[in-house]
Amino acid sequence: MAEEAFSTGDYVMALENYKLAYEEAPSIKLNHLIASLALEQGNFTEALAYAGDEQDSYLETLETLDLYLQIQLYTHNFFAAREFLWRAQKNKMLTEEQQNLWTLRIDDQEDFYQKQQQAAIKSLETELIKLPELSSMEQLQLVRKVKALSEERLKSWAEKWMLDPNVAPLVRSYLFENLGRVGVIEKVRYLTIQGEIVELSPAETAFDDSLQQEIEARLTNRLEDNDPILLANLLEQLKLEMAFLYPLQYSFMKPDAWAESYLAEYSGSLAELDEQVEAIRQKIRQMMFDYH
């Protein structure tokens, strides 16, 4: 029915029937077709929803890459467009000329939109000024709004907050992560949870979960058969604590010491504990109280 409507030029009916077909038997090909038709008919929110369902598949060809980026621009999701473009660049999908053309297009449309939304942007930045004065949880909620800013303003706020001890550690790491997601290669200064300032490239500092995996493996080996409930609780706590180490997880690559620390805390193990790991875990526990 969709194809028949499409062949007669009734694209509205074709879109509705393609969506019904997608409900019956979802496929990447149908997803791309629906997103494209929705975009052509000005149903930008609908196009965005379908594209979001199969985001990775839009990296398969230049045609689908262009479609995804167009959808993000029409819905004013400039951060998402930059993030996707950076992923395409890492996958070597684009020539330097194609990369530059898309970057210029995103910059131009973002600049035009920001000028139209000057009052809203000014109101948002007035709200953001107060972020360091808020509680840790309130900061986490507010900082998500930075994606509405231009890349230049995002970098400006991030560079300021990543050095501010009054800004919660998870907020600082959130900002660093987002700079990486849009491909900021230049090194930035970052205040660690130990109070040290380091210089790192967000785009080149990927999230590394090898430490977490190594600790999980050791805890599982020790507790899976003897105390699965304790194991589940420890793995959940481990996940939370590891979030505080980003982006410097590799600096604490002592999985045996971490595993022994958890076991000593909850099961009375008498093993000798590592001073560095104990010190960092104590600092993380203090910070976690702020979120509770």
What are the pLDDT tens digits along the chain (292 aa)? 999 999 999 999 999 999 999 999 999 999 999 999 999 999 999 999 999 999 999 999 999 999 999 999 999 999 999 999 999 999 999 999 999 999 999 999 999 999 999 999 999 999 999 999 999 999 999 999 999 999 999 999 999 999 999 999 999 999 999 999 999 999 999 999 989 999 999 999 877 889 999 999 999 999 999 899 999 999 999 999 998 999 998 889 999 999 999 999 887 766 789 999 999 999 998 888 776 6
Of the candidates 68, 72, 45, the residue with the CA atom closest to the CA atom of residue 56: 68
Burial of 196 (0-12, 13-18, 19+ CB in 10 A): exposed
pLDDT tens for residues 154-165?
Answer: 999 999 999 999
pLDDT of res. 66? 97
Bond preceding residue 247 cis, omega within 30 of 0: yes
pLDDT of res. 30? 96
pLDDT of res. 134? 96
pLDDT tens for residues 76-127?
Answer: 999 999 999 999 999 999 999 999 999 999 999 999 999 999 999 999 999 9
pLDDT of res. 267? 72
The answer to whether the CB of 69 falls within 8 A of the CB of 102 is: yes
The answer to whether the CB of 97 falls within 8 A of the CB of 90 is: no
The answer to whether the CB of 21 falls within 8 A of the CB of 37 is: no
Give the whole-angstrom CA distance, residue 159 versus residue 200: 12
Taken in order of first residue, the domains within the chain and their CATH numbers are 2-116 (1.25.40.10), 118-204 (3.30.1790), 210-291 (no CATH)
Give the whole-angstrom CA distance, residue 22 versus residue 84: 24
Question: What is the number of alpha carbons within 13 Å of residue 173 lying toward its C-beta?
Answer: 16
Of the candidates 246, 237, 192, the residue with the CA atom closest to the CA atom of residue 215: 237
Of the candidates 218, 184, 216, 177, the residue with the CA atom closest to the CA atom of residue 201: 184
The answer to whether the CB of 261 falls within 8 A of the CB of 274 is: yes
Give the whole-angstrom CA distance, residue 241 versus residue 270: 22
